[in-house]
Amino acid sequence: MDKILIIILVFTFGGCVSNSNDVPLEKCADSMFILTNELMAERLPGEAQPEAAIKEFLTQSYDVKTEYDYYNALIKICEDQKEKDPEKFKEDYK
């Protein structure tokens, strides 16, 4: 019985750790998502999404957001930023 409890705790804490590693990447991708929509609003207003749609998208879980190719592309850009300067990335998106 004790072994089962330990296994459950390991999986629970393991899930928490992996999710916390995604938080800075999610913050980065979210900020880039907002920025690209703002730039789109300036250059191609008809193509930009309304602010309400952006807010609705950003309130979704990380797992749901990563179902979209565009968001995954933003995550890749953020991963590149993190790789180039990990300390700055950590400071910017803690």
The pTM is what?
0.74
pLDDT, residue 22, reads 86
Domain residue limits, the chain: 21-92
pLDDT, residue 13, reads 45
**Contact (Cβ atoms closer than 8 angstroms) between residue 33 and residue 74:** yes
**Contact (Cβ atoms closer than 8 angstroms) between residue 22 and residue 14:** no
* pLDDT classification of 94: cutoffs 50, 70, 90: confident
Per-residue pLDDT tens over the stretch 29-80: 999 999 999 999 999 999 899 999 999 999 999 999 999 999 999 999 999 9
